[in-house]
Amino acid sequence: MIKALLARLKQGRWTMPFPSDGIKLPPRYRGLPRIRSLNLEKAAAACPYGAISAGQGLDMGRCIFCGDCARAAPDAVEFTGEYRLCASQRRDLLLTEKEFKRAETLTRDLLKIFGRSFKLRQVSAGGCAACEADCNVLQTIGFDLGRFGVQFVSSPRHADGLLVTGPVTKNMELALKKTYAAMPSPKAVIACGACAIAGGPYAGHEECLGIPPEIPVDLYIPGCPPHPLTILDGILRLIGRA
């Protein structure tokens, strides 16, 4: 026992400080896209999933962050190292030359309820498990989601929020609706990843339906998959802890 305690003291602190200006991601990380020009014809032609429209901008909800657009048209699109990508409204994910509008916190009444303890029920609605894996990482010692009062729970009856991953296949539509209905009100909904937001690589497939309109989304977390820090930042912004 003594050896274990001495080893732990020697190792020091493993949990990263967050939020922190000192966080640096690898140079290869592709974060918030920057639209340098709306002359996006080359970028639109290179995008494999139709996330870019010439003269309009880049839809970060459809973007899988492959980087093909930036390689095809570096004078029009570039990817920064900014991991804070979340938005409160679907329309805010359409990037133009204007400044990106980040997610806002819940109303004051809801913050009184969720501000200190926020329980999430995660539903994998046909996902590939990449978004799910990055959500799981948040519960490890490096990120320690629990220190902010946020935890994933196994029952929707115990949940304050619903975190959806995947494009919502026909086989998962009913399960998702039942999960949402089983959650007590008030409740928040988070669409995590390109699939949950706009179908991702599966957009337009007859088996993928998307989040039903009767389930209102409060937070959009873009990415394929989103970086764990992006998910963490979005959740904390939602409950006023960022």
Per-residue pLDDT tens listing for the chain (242 residues): 788 777 767 766 678 889 888 888 999 999 999 999 999 999 999 999 999 998 899 999 999 999 999 999 999 999 999 999 999 999 999 999 889 999 999 888 888 888 789 999 999 999 899 999 999 999 999 999 999 999 999 999 999 999 999 999 999 999 999 999 999 999 999 999 999 999 999 999 999 999 999 999 999 999 999 999 999 999 999 999 87
DSSP designation for 124: E
Domain 108-238 fold: Rossmann fold (3.40.50)
| Phi, psi dihedral angles at 123 (to 5 degrees) | -120, 120
- CATH 3.30.70.20 segments of the chain: 33-82
- CATH 3.40.50.12280 segments of the chain: 108-238
Per-residue pLDDT, 93: 97
Per-residue pLDDT, 13: 67
Starting at the edge strand found earlier in the chain, the sheet holding 219-221 runs 150-152, 118-124, 161-165, 188-192, 219-221
Domain 33-82, CATH among 3.30.70.20, 3.30.450.20, 1.10.357.10, 1.10.10.60: 3.30.70.20
Q: Where is 236: in which H helix or E strand?
A: helix 228-238
Instruction: Report the largest interatomic distance among the alpha carbons of the chain, rounded to a whole angstrom.
Output: 66
Model confidence, pTM: 0.93
DSSP designation for 89: S
